[in-house]
Structure 1
Amino acid sequence: MQNTLQNERPTLSFWQIWNMCLGFMGIQFGFALQNANVSRIFQTLGAEIDDIPILWVAAPLTGLIVQPIIGYMSDKTWGRLGRRRPYFFYGAIVTTAALLVMPNSPTLWVAAGMLWIMDASINVTMEPFRALVGDNLPNRQRALGYSLQSFFIGVGAVIASSLPWVLTNWFDVSNTAAAGIIPPSVQYAFYVGGAFLLICVMWTVFTTSEYSPEQLAAFSDSAEANAQSEPKTTINFAKTMSVSGLVGVVIIAAVGGMGLEKELYLLGGLLLAFALLQGIAAWQQQRRYTGNGFFTVVYDVFTMPRAMRQLAWVQFFSWFSLFAMWIYTTGAVTSYHYHSVDVTSKAYNDGADWVGVLFAAYNGFAALAALVIPVMVKRFGIRVAHAINLIFGALSLVSFLLISDPAWLMVPMVGIGFAWASILSLPYAMLASALPSAKMGVYMGIFNFFIVIPQLLAASILGLILKHGFANQPIYALVIGGLSFVLAALSLTRVKLTN
């Protein structure tokens, strides 16, 4: 990378971009092992099927808190390791440690706590990677950078998701264990994944350089960035605080007064917490104490670029679908296709292993889709291409209800792979031109809200919907996810692009 001031970022070589994005494959090892195996671990340690969503809440809640903080901090960081790389370095170390401990959890509460720690450290490592592409690449190469990240996500997830199945079928590692004991195949998969994550992230840390704050300020978008870095308007936080606080109180009162399910306390509590944050921001605004990180993040939530607001609903419905799939596919396949809910039985564990293979497959198809999607964008335009891929995902999730032979579940993985690859790249491509460089990190963190909030909502209500509407049959969570993908595709009609 050149170290001279200039108006345009220089074009990087393919291998420089490759090195910059390789760490994302390691991060995906952590996410893929988590997504494919944590529900299995929870059930093994005694969780009931309708308790799983609330146990999973640690993951999205952690992202909601961590990502904007890390984004803001990394925007302000500069040291021996640069701007974003310190967060890669230390986050990877903690994530690796969490991956080693997670499959040895002796009780359910320990496993839930380890999920919290693991997801927090993954978020510390992951959030700056998105911003790093914006920092280092000129506009004409950002699509390539995000596409290469999607490719590495797919490849990493293929390997990680299939590890328990590979260890069982290729290396004769047992996939069953006594009641309350996590099978050895899952344990060893987490060990391998932890080592691979650390190697990949450290490769990026030590092979990639970054621009200094002075160099970033000299690029052509610095004027726009500086212009948007300070508050210009006064936000009526009191009004928005009153609305969210009132709704939160009503929900909590309804749970207590009407005997509704305890999961709704989470939804009400989140609304009250959001009201409290707005109240603090209102107090700071009144006293003109607006130069701190807390106020900056809250203010930026309400003054985000128009493209972010328009893409919010697309992300919301897309990630609601994905979260439904991640937490309920194991329960759906083992109960509906393998006809077992006994976590100690061979049928259940064979079904759980097959879910790992299916998750590996959709990520493999996503890696291939990352090569096809640019052609779709050129042919149909970016909005229509994304909508087509979301509809592929919708049809694929609904088809789980129609397919009886688990071997045929490989077919819908193609559509899910296209949806996944598209979700990981096209919204960021639509958003990229709207983000000022000086606030790339914090805006990427705020954009994560529209990934996290639907996951928190899913954790609050999916268990209730299944319990009261579908006799606790997890297969219907996948159908609900398919319908949510349709809503995401329809939301794209509201997105207005400026270029």
Structure 2
Amino acid sequence: MPTPEADPERHHHHRGRTTRPPAAVVRPARPSLRQLFRVASVACGIQFGWALQLSLLTPYVQELGIPHAWASVIWLCGPLSGLIVQPMVGHMSDRSTSRFGRRRPFIVAGAACIAVSVLIIGYSADIGWLLGDRGGVRPRAIGVFVFGFWILDVANNVTQGPCRALLADLTGKDHRRTRVANAYFSLFMAVGNILGYATGAFSYWYKVFPFTLTSACDVNCANLKSAFIIDIAFIALTTYLSTSAAQELPLGSSDRNTPFADEEPGHSSQAEEAFLWELFGTFRYFSASIWLILLVTGLNWIGWFPFLLFDTDWMGREIYGGEPNEGRNYSDGVRMGAFGLMLNSIMLGATSLLMERLCRKWGSGFVWGISNFIMALSFLAMLVITFVNKSIGHDSPPLGIVIASLVVFTILGIPLAITYSVPYALISSRIESLGLGQGLSMGVLNLAIVVPQVLVSLGSGPWDQLFGGGNSPAFAVAAVAALASGLVAILAIPRSIPQKPRSFT
């Protein structure tokens, strides 16, 4: 399949128009590892909120009155907004002429929207109470929650693409340093996860923030509200650390001594085209290796999304045998699930420290494939644990069952670290020569993530109900998808990327 030249003077054709890729970026000096480390730190704040979202919001929305079969539909906004918002934001940031730089305005704006959205979610029960909610099912609180939740997902997508693109801008064609930068990003995601899941597992935040406990907001709700207040402070800190470390210049700047200074003024002709046409028009230039990366990523996320969606719910239902708003078993299971996710994140962080060495020794495709096999075995183990626990039939789970569940959660941190790092490094290095802009390239990869999430969000609830309820059917599909993605990664993705030897310090 032909690809456009790396030469920025080459013209691309879309719908009969002649356009040019974004202006080339001059990088006279490589950024230090310390600078990359600080830039990647924003992932910690973003992932802190994601950890709270992933561990607590599926149980919480069921406590508001939404049935389990429909809980996954609430998450549909994430992939839908990612399908449009993240590629569009990447496209816009590639061409931004803001005096504050190309990526940083989007990162700051997204972080501010995250802060507003978590306040709406945290106070949804109180707002619903003021609007007239009483009793078990609280439709007004659900409406407020869904509104805030959708803003949160849009804000997350606004922030994440420019964060990844900023690292890609800094590292350029140095593929080894690109892997290091993405490993830093994965490490900070692990740290954010650890802090977020630890916050979600702590059950006495309402005593630290007593004003969160109200007539409409019980202890579980107050703990959620308190956790989101902490999240706001944390994301503000990490956003400042990250954006202050990368001194971007707007397109067309004449400063040649700072990264991100452009060789020539930016062009507006491409921005004038219909965005979606340009996004999908880039597909014609993709090589077979890029399509393989997108395929493995899609299968990978069919495996991951059921786990990320229902992990703590699985612990509350299948392991502790509880139901939302019925006794303490379910909430105890959710907190234990959050603790398991904290252990998962510790393993994620440890794996991130070894990422560059593993990929250099065995090849990115092989490492990615083995990690997907670990995923498949872990999901299979969850199905076995569920079956054994049901056959025992105790009111509370035996200690061995709880320990086995926590071990599986911990082991899954290994493939999760690779999922958070390797695909982004692979796609960034292979799409650099197309001259399409790193923001748009991150958006293209995101398409391979959000489409599987849409399928899982729409299908997991009805699929689970078809087989008697619970989360096991979704995990069975996840195991099959993970196995398939591992096979494709090992058999089809080359061990390394051809490149000239470069020094690395």
TM tier, smaller = 0.7 to 0.9
SS, match of residue 143 in structure 2: helix
Separation of aligned partners in 2, 1:9 and 1:347 = 59
1:249 matched residue in structure 2: none
Give 1:109 deviation, angstroms.
2.1
1:411 matched residue in structure 2: 407
Which residue of 217, 220, 232 maps to 1:194?
232
SS, match of residue 158 in structure 1: helix
Give 1:76 deviation, angstroms.
0.6
Separation of aligned partners in 2, 1:185 and 1:407 = 25
Q: What is the aligned-residue identity percentage? A: 22
Q: In the alignment, residue 420 of structure 1 is paired with which amino acid?
A: L
Give 1:178 deviation, angstroms.
8.3
SS, match of residue 429 in structure 1: helix
1:14 matched residue in structure 2: 33
2:138 matched residue in structure 1: none
Large movers: runs of 4+ above 6 Å? 169-180, 215-219
Separation of aligned partners in 2, 1:216 and 1:150 = 34
Q: In the alignment, residue 69 of structure 1 is paired with which amino acid?
A: M
Structure-2 change in CA distance of 1:217 and 1:345 (3 Å)? farther
Aligned 8 A contact 1:92 1:121 in 2: yes
Aligned 8 A contact 1:389 1:415 in 2: no
Structure-2 change in CA distance of 1:294 and 1:473 (3 Å)? closer
> RMSD in angstroms over aligned alpha carbons?
3.3
1:437-493 C-alpha deviation (Å, 9 max, x unpaired): 55111121121000000000001111122111x201213322322222111112212
1:76-109 C-alpha deviation (Å, 9 max, x unpaired): 1022211100001111111111112212213212
1:164-209 C-alpha deviation (Å, 9 max, x unpaired): 3225399688999989855211111111012101211122122321
Give 1:301 deviation, angstroms.
4.0
**2:336 matched to 1:354?**
yes
SS, match of residue 343 in structure 1: coil
Q: In the alignment, residue 422 of structure 1 is paired with which amino acid?
A: I
1:307-327 C-alpha deviation (Å, 9 max, x unpaired): 331111111111112110122
Gaps of 5+ in 2: 1-23, 126-140, 390-400, 499-505
Separation of aligned partners in 1, 2:190 and 2:326 = 31
1:312 matched residue in structure 2: 294
Separation of aligned partners in 1, 2:482 and 2:28 = 37
**2:106 matched to 1:87?**
yes
Which residue of 352, 370, 377 maps to 1:370?
352
Aligned 8 A contact 1:74 1:83 in 2: yes
**2:457 matched to 1:475?**
no
Q: In the alignment, residue 423 of structure 2 is paired with which amino acid?
A: P
Structure-2 change in CA distance of 1:475 and 1:212 (3 Å)? same
Q: TM-score, normalised by structure 1?
A: 0.80
Q: TM-score, normalised by structure 2?
A: 0.79
1:444 matched residue in structure 2: 442
Separation of aligned partners in 2, 1:141 and 1:9 = 15
Map 1:126-205 to 2 at 5 A: 126-138=160-172, 139=174, 140-168=176-204, 181=218, 182-205=220-243
**2:146 matched to 1:112?**
yes
Aligned 8 A contact 2:298 2:448 in 1: yes
1:252 matched residue in structure 2: none
Aligned 8 A contact 2:301 2:452 in 1: yes
Aligned 8 A contact 1:49 1:331 in 2: no
Map 1:30-45 to 2 at 5 A: 30-45=49-64
Separation of aligned partners in 2, 1:211 and 1:121 = 24
Aligned 8 A contact 1:44 1:180 in 2: no
Q: In the alignment, residue 354 of structure 1 is paired with which amino acid?
A: M
Separation of aligned partners in 1, 2:238 and 2:374 = 31
Gaps of 5+ in 1: 232-288
Structure-2 change in CA distance of 1:180 and 1:46 (3 Å)? farther
1:100 matched residue in structure 2: 119
Separation of aligned partners in 1, 2:95 and 2:53 = 31
Structure 1 window deviating more from structure 2 (165-174 vs 341-350): it is 165-174
Count the aligned residue pairs: 436
Structure-2 change in CA distance of 1:94 and 1:170 (3 Å)? closer
Separation of aligned partners in 1, 2:441 and 2:255 = 17
Which residue of 375, 397, 402 maps to 2:379?
397
Separation of aligned partners in 1, 2:272 and 2:251 = 22
1:131-177 C-alpha deviation (Å, 9 max, x unpaired): 11111124142111100000000000110122032253996889999
Separation of aligned partners in 2, 1:172 and 1:349 = 19
Separation of aligned partners in 2, 1:471 and 1:6 = 56
Give 1:378 deviation, angstroms.
3.0
Separation of aligned partners in 2, 1:343 and 1:417 = 30
Structure-2 change in CA distance of 1:490 and 1:428 (3 Å)? same
Q: In the alignment, residue 377 of structure 2 is paired with which amino acid?
A: L
Aligned 8 A contact 2:75 2:457 in 1: yes
Structure-2 change in CA distance of 1:297 and 1:471 (3 Å)? same
2:158 matched residue in structure 1: 124
**2:468 matched to 1:430?**
no
